[in-house]
Amino acid sequence: MKLERAELRVVTLPLKFRFETSMGVETEKVFPLLRLRSNGLEGVAEGVMDDRLPVFREETVQSAMTFLEEFLPRMIGLEFPNPEAVARYLEPYRGNHMAKAVIEMAFWDLWARHLGQPLHRLLGGVRDAIPVGVSIGIQKDIAATLELVADHVAQGYKRVKLKIKPGWDIQHVTAVRSAFVNINLTVDANSAYSLADARVFQALDTLQLDYIEQPLAWNDLHDHAKLQAMMNTPLCLDESISSAQDARKALESKACRVINIKVGRVGGHLEARRVHDVAAAFGAPVWCGGMLESGIGRAHNIHLSSLANFSKPGDTSSASRYFDTDIINEPLEVTDGLMPIPAGAGIGVSLNEVVLETVTLQKQEFGA
């Protein structure tokens, strides 16, 4: 299909609460939103990079906008028969996985709508609802953490993930485990530690955690393998995995036993599916991580999570947990810890044009 037009926005949504991790505090979500058009149809996707400061990975909204403003005019007018062709077009250019994913994912939505198929069916999904966990940021004290955990356990979430950082780890996680003996509990350090902190992880190793996520540096498989060898609890890698090759190397070198797949972080659905398949070949489960997405990014994540080896609960909770107002018309709501996959062609949700206008910081069109 021929790409006829593209609309690129930067959108901002205020968060309902401050979300603190070892990387800092977020109070609003700023992201690029791309609409690709062909033959009267539209495909939509959003970006998951940081605004201004590259704290999660090296990309930012600003670097992605530079990339997208360069590539979209070149791609308008070209024929792309399928998502593989889009990925092949972008493949020679290095890095920028999150920026590439915006284009690749919007094309998947457009292509699925063109074929009249839901995205999960084209990806090869096998389930019609996704088990959902919750990610709890760093709170002001243990009491506040315990209250939030109780609230989410009561709502039926299938897994509780606690963000940790040096000084906010053993004592707090132990308190939660003592109060909630049987819940599926995990922690995420977002690369805040080094091997010199091994004693912290040996203490956490006694708390029956389902996994410990990204304890060490984002670009260091070697030390993750050393740490994994000291522990019974599986390590899960997030920031470290940019591609299926990274996943293979991490699993071969025993740097982790679980992988968090973020479709934006690895460059789109095709590479996310490859990471999923590599992990399956190693017998390693995967789950879908979140980046505080709006309903558009959540819908993409939900469809991807329908693949067979997404056997652990993901971060695909309701957007209403994070935002007062979403930019899509259809509510994506969790019931008893399960998120239904949106029905309909493509990602199965549509933009609310009225809301979208009120949260748009900038907008440009290509091929108009």
The catalytic residue positions are 163, 262
- Binding footprint of Mg ion on the chain (CB under 5 A): 188, 213, 238
Strand 360-366 versus strand 5-21 pairing type: antiparallel
**CA–CA separation, 198 vs 212, rounded Å?**
13
Q: Is 321 left (phi over 0), alpha (psi -120 to 50) or beta?
A: alpha
Tallying the residues shown for the chain, one arrives at: 368
Q: Which CB atom, from 267 or from 314, has the smaller least distance to Mg ion?
A: 314
> Residue with the closest Cβ to Mg ion?
238
Tokens of 340: 């239904």
Q: List the one residue out of 47, 171, 30, 26 whose CA is nearest residue 103.
A: 47
Query: Please, what is the Cα angle at 24 between 20 and 25, to 5 degrees?
Result: 50
Of 65 and 216, CB closest to Mg ion: 216
Distance CA 268, CA 39 (A): 23
Phi first, then psi, for residue 305 (nearest 5°) are -70, -5
By beta-carbon proximity to Mg ion, the closer residue of 113 and 159 is: 159
Nearer to Mg ion by C-beta: 213 or 246?
A: 213
To Mg ion, the closest distance from the beta carbon of 173 in angstroms equals 16
Minimum distance of Mg ion from residue 99's CB (angstroms): 20
Q: How far is the CB of 354 from Mg ion (least distance, A)?
A: 33
Shortest spacing between CB 337 and Mg ion, in angstroms: 20
Long-range contacts of 318-324 (CB under 8 A, 24+ apart): 319/293, 319/294, 319/295, 321/16, 321/134, 322/13, 322/15, 322/16, 322/19, 322/29, 322/292, 323/13, 323/14, 323/15, 323/16, 323/29, 323/294, 324/14, 324/16
Amino acid, res. 174: T
How are beta strands 160-163 and 185-188 bridged, if at all? Answer: parallel
Residue 188 or 271: the one with the smaller Cβ distance to Mg ion is 188
- CB of 137: closest distance to Mg ion in angstroms? 12
